Amino acid sequence: MNIRFKNNFFLIALIASIAAIIFIPFIGNCPLFDWDEVNFAECAREMVSSGNYSLVQLNYRPFWEKPPFFIWLQAGSMNLFGVNEFAARFPNALCSIFSLVAIFWIGKKFHSQKFGLVWAFIYGATLLPHLYFKSGLIDPWFNLFIFLAVYNCIVFINNPGGKQELRNALLAGLFLGMAVLTKGPAAMAIVALTLLAFMAWTRRIKLLLTLPFILFTLTTLLVSGSWFIIEYLKGNEKIISEFIAYQIRLFETGDSGHDGPFIYHFVVLLVGCFPASLLFIASYLKYKELTPYQQLFRKIFICLFWVVLLLFSFAQTKIIHYSSLCYFPLTFVASIGLVNYFHQLKFDVVSKSVYWLIAILFTIAFTAIGFIDYYKGWVIGSGIIKDAFAAQNLQAEVHWSGFEFIIGLVFLLSSLLIFMAIQHKKIKLLYYGFATNLCFIYLAIAVIIPKVELYSQDAAIEFYKICAQQHCYVETHGFKSYAYLFYSNRQPEDYQNPDQIRYINEQLDVMEKEGHSRIKSYATSNLLWMENGKIDRPAYIVIKTKEELEMLKKPDMMKLYEKNGFSFFVRMPAK
């Protein structure tokens, strides 16, 4: 890390190439995971299938929960690579390249070339940031746009009246507007609270009334409002109102069962960003030797960290990726400690205990998983697993070579190297440790995650793929899923039966009178038609085996088979 490259463009190309080599391979090696990952992929698939790229759809009905930008990226990828897992995850692999290059470039501007390299390295070699770059989730692009918006804000705040001031204000508004078009208005709330906290901390509230801030605000509103205005003019104001109501509900209630304690995201960051999270704690109070500009820069990222962490800790809906924007400031502060204060860093007694507790638990988990076939029978029979569905999932036949335990030992080695580096002040050991951690993450994603997936949803996805080869209907009963839509290759004509349309509209009228959203109730109404209405082709129903008694009571439902916690039924059309 002491090598200094004279040609920055060569270094950027090198970082981009390494990111591509690390993050593109194996992104299509296992099915998409319910809910969010397959949800977005299905919206993109329906764009491609229907040819309607202006509106996000699910079940070929308007879908109000997310704006279209990320779905457009996935749809474009599917046009290039076909409708598959690789195409769904490829946009985030691209995001890894842009993110690491941006981190390097901004880190270089903030401090030095070395700092930019260290920050990009730590970010890419940390578990959760790495994992999201290999997912089909929406957050990597959302986070990148907010990160770039905040960076451009600090640049024009620090240089009032400068030549680049208005350009940076425009860029900040452009990036923030793109964040809104990626995931929604939460982006504006995050950046607004971050800037207000920063202004209060630095006593610069008056800057909010200056021309750059006004330009920043107007650009944000123009870019973020563009799609919403178009949809409103097209007569889709109902979708916009549903979208706004959904965003409010995420903060007020635990949506879709995703609730949790206040400390949920604290634990997620501590464990999911280990060991960078412990380096963040050790480095947090070390900043006094930074230049005034560096301290200003650090303050806005500290504000961003706490705004995101506290905002989503108070929100009732708790989902692991909601705090993923914290990865930027967390690794940023950790990098300050490593570059400026490495010989002063140390873990106190509590930090050492937490460090080794996490390291040992991770090692045990990743070492034991390769031997699961040897003890899963005992686990199932012991009654430790109270959920019958989970116990039945564990019965899946999965081939383990027996060498997977090595991956757990790789993690232990990385933890040991990083700990020794801090204890003995050997910076090279720390770099070796993070490089080893990167190998662990790479191997875990390539080898372990696809095998774990076989326990969770493989039986259902296998069934959906068979259904995709038939002229039939498919729905799930009693549990929420989007996988059946994506893997059964649902087409627009699957909703064009006149009896189906009439039956569904009647059900939607009833549900709307009961206070349910008409848009959200569409899949339920379609399921009721498949179970009770006049169907014109085979209707396949997937239900959890522990709840199949309800389906067995229906005289015209025939059970096909059960596998790994799922039961599969069919209802045939009357002759």
- Domain residue extents for the chain: 1-102, 349-455, 460-571
**Whole-number pLDDT of residue 228:** 82
Q: State how far Cα 334 lies from the chain centre.
A: 22
The kind and range of the H/E element at 459 are: helix 458-467
Binning pLDDT at 50, 70 and 90, where does residue 250 land? low
Task: Identify the H or E element spanning 442.
Answer: helix 427-443
Say whether 542 sits in a helix, a strand or coil: strand
Q: Is the pLDDT of residue 370 over 90?
A: no
pLDDT tens digits, 174-227: 999 999 999 988 999 999 999 999 999 998 888 888 888 999 999 999 999 988
Q: Say if residue 75's pLDDT is above 60.
A: yes
First to last CA, the chain: 74
Residue 572 has a pLDDT of: 95
**What's the pTM value of the predicted model, to 2 decimals?**
0.93
What integer best gives the mean pLDDT of the chain?
92
CA atoms of 457 and 465, how far apart (whole Å): 12
Q: Residue 91 in contact with residue 70, Cβ under 8 Å? A: yes
* R_g of the chain, CA atoms, integer Å: 25
**Distance of alpha carbon 150 from alpha carbon 128, whole angstroms:** 22
Convert the pLDDT of each residue in 457-472 to its tens digit.
Answer: 999 999 999 999 999 9
Cβ pair 27, 85 in contact under 8 A: yes
Helix axes 85-110, 139-158, angle to 10 degrees: 20
The closest of 370, 281, 380 to 329, measured between CA atoms, is 281
Cα 515 from Cα 292, distance rounded (Å): 56
Reported as a pLDDT band with limits 50, 70 and 90, residue 64 is confident
Going by pLDDT thresholds of 50, 70 and 90, the confidence category of residue 160 is low
Q: What band does 234 get if pLDDT is binned at 50, 70 and 90?
A: confident
Model confidence over 258-282: pLDDT tens digits?
A: 678 999 999 999 999 999 999 999 9
The secondary structure of residue 159, as a DSSP letter, is S
* More confident call, 158 vs 34: 158
Residue 349: predicted pLDDT: 96
Asked if residue 256 has pLDDT above 70, the reply is: no
Structural contact between residues 269 and 330, judged by C-beta atoms closer than 8 angstroms: yes
- Looking at residue 9, its pLDDT comes to 85
Cα–Cα dist 558/573, whole Å: 12
Give the model's confidence band at 437: pLDDT under 50 very low, under 70 low, under 90 confident, else very high.
very high
- Taking residue 383's Cβ as centre, other Cβ atoms within 10 Å add up to 8
Q: 522: part of which helix (H) or strand (E)?
A: helix 522-532
109-147 tens-digit pLDDT: 999 999 999 999 999 999 999 999 999 999 999 999 999
How far apart CA 366 and CA 382 sit, in angstroms, is 22
State mean pLDDT over 57-76.
Answer: 92
Q: How far apart are CA 191 and CA 194, in angstroms?
A: 5
User: Is the pLDDT reported for residue 2 higher than 80?
Assistant: no
**Residue 376 pLDDT greater than 70, yes or no:** yes
| Cβ proximity of 213 and 157 under 8 Å | no
DSSP state of 446: I
401's CB contacts (< 8 A; 6+ apart) are 370
pLDDT band at 5 (very low <50, low <70, confident <90, very high): low
Contact criterion met (CB below 8 Å) for 14 and 121 = no
What would the pLDDT profile of 317-340 be if each residue is shown by its tens digit? 888 999 999 999 999 999 999 999
Q: Of 496, 495, 500, 497, which Cα lies nearest the Cα of 485?
A: 495
**What one-letter code names the amino acid at 53?**
Y
Predicted pLDDT at 78: 98
Contact at 8 Å (CB) between 139 and 352?
Answer: no
- Helix, strand, coil percent values for the chain (each to nearest 5): 70, 5, 25
Predicted pLDDT of residue 258: 64
Please give the Cα distance from 56 to 65 (Å, whole number).
9
Supply the DSSP symbol for 265.
H
Question: 95: closest CA among 327, 277, 302?
Answer: 327
What is the model's pLDDT at position 514?
A: 87
How large is the average pLDDT for residues 532-561?
94
Q: What is the spatial distance between Cα 475 and Cα 539, in angstroms, rounded to a whole number?
A: 8
pLDDT surpassing 80 at residue 412: yes
